[in-house]
Amino acid sequence: MTLTGATRSKLSRNYSLMCPDSHVPLNLPQWKNCQVIYTASPEMGAKFCQFLVNMKAGGSFCSESQTDEFLLLVLEGAIELTFGGATHRLQQDGFAHLKAGERFELKNPGDTGRILAFQKKYAPMPGATGAVISFVSSLAQTSAKPFLGDDGALLQTLLPEDSAWDWGVNVFEFQPGATLPIVEMHFMEHGLYFLQGQGVYRLGSDWHLVEQGDAIWMGPYLEQWFAATGKISSKYIYYKEMNRAPG
Ligand code: UGY
Ligand code: MN
């Protein structure tokens, strides 16, 4: 029996863990027929937003931001995304990058749809190489590489790494028993969502049991380490600041 009043969710000065049992869905006017659950935002100290959207049948959204870039991942269902005069049907595992100022529309033509979104203000850099573009793809179409030579920890890099891009979004898959090779400490923040499996996350001096559906915000310089447990591989998607110096 679940003990009422207990949760693994926690908000600290420089990190948060939000578990599904703490979700309070919001109705926002821009998201018609949808429920939105923010799991990271400036109110907790993050410099970006991460949120989940449950899209009911006919649910829709039309972007209005001139400044923000978005990364959308379909967790469930099939969502229609329109931008640049074309409509794309994104199935589960499909993702889209929308560059800052791109006007786009989302629609759920099916019964239920669920998406994960990362949203942040784009930071331009004079003289940067490459061009930031809007595109659609899927996790299945994205290659995975061993992280620092470890076959048990595979990394998928979803976005190009040219210096025009100020963020990265990656998917990490760990075989049971695999770990991050070091306790990392860096100025870049992370927003993270567990797609599959379970494990132990070290966040600062705290150790948390984590599993599919959990969301984490890691603030600057937070000590972080992960070990995958359970019988299937653990998979998480995470956002990271890229190509920009602090300050
Ligand atoms: O890219 C990263 O900083 C990544 N290795 N961090 C993490 O998984 N917590
Ligand atoms: Mn990290």
Structure tokens at 203: 């966040």
**Closest atom, ligand 1, to C-alpha of 236:** 8
**Closest atom, ligand 1, to C-alpha of 170:** 1
**Distance from Cα 13 to the centre of ligand 1, integer Å:** 19
Query: Positive or negative, the Cα torsion across 119, 121, 127, 131?
Result: positive
Q: E strands along 22-131, which residues?
A: 31-40, 49-62, 68-76, 79-83, 86-90, 94-98, 104-107, 113-121
Query: Within 13 Å of residue 194, how many CA atoms lie on the same side as its CB?
Result: 23
Ligand nearest to the CA of 201: 1
Which residue's CA is minimally distant from atom 2 of ligand 1? 240
Q: Best mutation site among 240, 241, 242, 243 for ligand 1, i.e. most ligand atoms within 8 A of its Cβ? A: 240
ipTM over 0.90: yes
Please report the domains of the chain, with CATH numbers, ordered by start residue: 12-139 (2.60.120.10), 140-241 (2.60.120.10)
pLDDT digits 0-9 by tens, 102-159: 999 999 999 999 999 999 999 999 999 999 999 999 999 999 999 999 999 999 999 9
pLDDT of residue 1: 67
**CA neighbor of 32 nearest in space, from 49, 54, 50:** 54
pLDDT of residue 64: 85
In this structure, the residues whose C-beta lies within 6 A of any atom of ligand 1 are 172, 180, 184, 190, 224, 238, 240
User: What residue has token string 């990394």?
Assistant: 155
- Phi/psi at 135 (5° precision): -160, 165
Tell me if residue 43 falls in helix, strand or coil: helix
Ligand nearest to the CA of 185: 2
pLDDT of residue 91: 97
pLDDT of residue 2: 74
- Other CB atoms within 10 Å distance of the CB of residue 84: 12
Burial class of residue 133 in the structure, from the number of CB atoms within 10 Å of its CB (0-12 exposed, 13-18 middle, 19+ buried): middle
Distance separating alpha carbons of residues 220 and 234, to the nearest angstrom: 24
Q: What is the DSSP string of 155-191?
A: EEE-S--STT--EEEEEEEE-TT-B-SS-B--SS-EE
Report residues near ion ligand 2: CB below 5 Å: 184
Q: What is the pLDDT along the chain (247 residues), one digit of tens a residue?
A: 678 999 999 999 999 999 999 999 999 999 999 999 999 999 999 999 999 999 999 999 999 899 999 999 999 999 999 999 999 999 999 999 999 999 999 999 999 999 999 999 999 999 999 999 999 999 999 999 999 999 999 999 999 999 999 999 999 999 999 999 999 999 999 999 999 999 999 999 999 999 999 999 999 999 999 999 999 999 999 999 999 999 8
Query: Positive or negative, the Cα torsion across 160, 161, 165, 170?
Result: positive
Structure tokens at 165: 């891009």
